[in-house]
Amino acid sequence: MSRPQPAVETRQVGRVRVHAIQAGGQQLDGGAMFGVVPKTLWSRRISADERNRIPLGMRCLLIEHEDGLVLLDTGSGNKETDKFHDIYGIDNAGAEGRTALEDGIRALGHRVEDVQWVINTHLHFDHAGGNTWRSPSGEVQPTFPNARYVVQRGELAYAEHPNERTTASYFPPNWAPVAAAGRLDLIEGEREILPGITLRPTPGHTPHHQSVILRSGGETLCFVGDLVPTVHHLPLPWIMGYDVEPLVTLESKRALLADALREDWLLCFEHDAHTGFGRVAYDGKAYHLAG
C-alpha cells in the first residue's frame, strides 16, 4: 500500500483558492490503465509492481468559492472491505474510521458540514465512494450533510442500469442515500452552476462523464477527472482500457486539450501519483506536460 504525498497542494486561480487533497493511494493494472498502448511503451514512463500494478492517486479538489465550499469528487470512502482495498491497492483511511479526504478538509480548517456543493465527475467508486460514509453503527449517510450533490442525469441513469462490464464500478450506496435525502441535483449537458464554475460534458470514460472548469480573474483551471487521469494520459491515444467508449474519449480529449493549450489552462490530474497540477504543451505530434 502506498499513499502519494503531499496530502494537500494549494493553488490560486484568479481570486479563488483551490486545494488538491490526496484522498488516498490506489494501484491498478498498468495494462488496463493504458488500453491499447503496449507495455513496452508505458513501462518506460511508469513502472509496474510484481502484480503489474502502477501507483495512482485519488485527488479531490476543494474550491474556496465566494458562495461557499465546493468539492470535486470524493475518493473511495470508508464503506468497502479490506479485501476490496487489497484488490484495488487502496490506502485511504483517515482518523477515527473516516477518510484521508476528511482529514485533509479538516487540516485546511474546514469541516465536512461546511461543504456546500459536491460535484461528481462520474459515479465510479473511486470518485463517488466518499459521497457517503458508514457510521460505527453501520448506517450509510451523506458525508457532507449540508451539501447539494451534483452529477449528470445520464450518469446516474447509467450507474443505476449497469451491465456485466460496468457493474464492478457502480455501487448504489455511493449515491442512493444522497438521493433519498433529497440532496442530489441532476444536470443535463453543459451548465455554469456557480459564478465561474462550469460543468463540461467530456464523454467516453463513461457516456456522461463531466469535467469541471473554474474561471476567475482571467485564469482557468480544469479538473479533468478520468478524461486525462494522469499526466501520462496526455497523448491523445493513451486512453484507459476501462473507458466504455474510447473513440468518444479521443474526441473529448482532442477538444478539451486544444482549449487548454490555447487558453493556457491549469489542469488538475485526479489519479496522478506525483503531479497534481500542470499545463499542457504540444510539440507538433503529441501533448505533454509543459515546462
Task: Point out which residues bind Zn ion (CB under 5 A).
Answer: 124, 226
Nearer to Zn ion, 147 or 159 (CB): 159
Nearer to Zn ion, 16 or 28 (CB): 28
Q: How far is the CB of 221 from Zn ion (least distance, A)?
A: 20
Nearer to Zn ion, 65 or 271 (CB): 271
Nearer to Zn ion, 32 or 290 (CB): 32
Nearer to Zn ion, 69 or 256 (CB): 256
Q: How far is the CB of 124 from Zn ion (least distance, A)?
A: 4
Task: Give the β-pairing of 148-152 and 115-119.
Answer: parallel
Can you tell me the distance from the alpha carbon of 136 to that of 142, in angstroms, rounded to the nearest whole number? 14
**What are the residues whose beta carbons fall under 8 Å from the beta carbon of 146, sequence distance 6 or more?**
113, 114, 115, 116
Q: How far is the CB of 16 from Zn ion (least distance, A)?
A: 26
Q: How far is the CB of 271 from Zn ion (least distance, A)?
A: 9
Tell how far CA 216 is from the center of its chain. Answer: 21
Q: How far is the CB of 125 from Zn ion (least distance, A)?
A: 9
Q: How far is the CB of 242 from Zn ion (least distance, A)?
A: 6
Nearer to Zn ion, 125 or 287 (CB): 125
Residue number with the smallest Cβ distance to Zn ion: 124
